[in-house]
Structure 1
Amino acid sequence: MPQYQLQPGDTILATRDIHNDGSFPDYEEDALLVKAGTRGVVINFGHLEENEDQEVFLVKFENAADGTELGPPIGCWPEDIEVIPDTLGH
């Protein structure tokens, strides 16, 4: 991910497939939640309580082919996402 501080509302892409780590009880463990290349929007961000150097981003990814629907928020590590530079609003 580039050295840009993501903000809520920024559009990103998933850099790799994201699987259920057990956080989504309605899905099987290790089920595919998001395919690499899927667009999403940053909802929030923060750090792990036990490791303030570890950033985590809350992202809603598109779950419809036309981009009209967003799925549930998913926690992502910085290496899971990349910013789409043309969409930065600041």
Structure 2
Amino acid sequence: MIDQRLPRYEWGQEVVAATDLYNDGSLPDVPEDQLVVAAGGPGEIVQVGHHGEANIPLYMVDFGIVVLGCLEEEIVPPGLYVPEAEGVAA
């Protein structure tokens, strides 16, 4: 049996979007692929779940204007967010 991967973040924790977040089709009143939350947008984790098949934590994050399901790679604590420099290639 595979052990459940523990979440990095917890309920009630403040986070920011680490990247631009677009509608993946889960928001029926918003056009698909439309920007919903820009990178750096503040939010709060309101629920922590787990995707059993993929064995990854999932987070419901309230960004004020919308609640989105996010992966760990899509959110970071506010002090760890570093905006990408515009016009600079990685």
TM-score by length of 2: 0.74
Tell whether 2:65 aligns with 1:71.
yes
> Runs ≥4 in structure 1, deviation > 3 angstroms?
none
- Specify the alignment match of 1:20 in structure 2: 23
TM-score (norm 1): 0.74
Tell me the equivalent position of 1:65.
none
Query: Alignment length, in residue pairs?
Result: 73
Provide structure 2 residue ranges, at least 5 long, that are not aligned to the other structure: 1-6, 80-90
For the pair shown, which has the larger CA radius of gyration, 1 or 2? 2
Match of residue 60 from structure 1: 62
In 2, the alpha carbon distance for the partners of 1:48 and 1:7 equals 16
- String of CA shifts for 1:40-59, please: whole Å, max 9, x gaps: 000011111322x2111000
Unaligned runs of 5+ in 1: 62-69, 86-90
Within the alignment, does 1:11 sit opposite 2:9 as a pair? no
How far is the alpha carbon of 1:6 from its aligned partner? 1.4
Between Structure 1 and Structure 2, the one with more strand by share is 1
Task: Name the SS for the 1:71 alignment partner.
Answer: coil
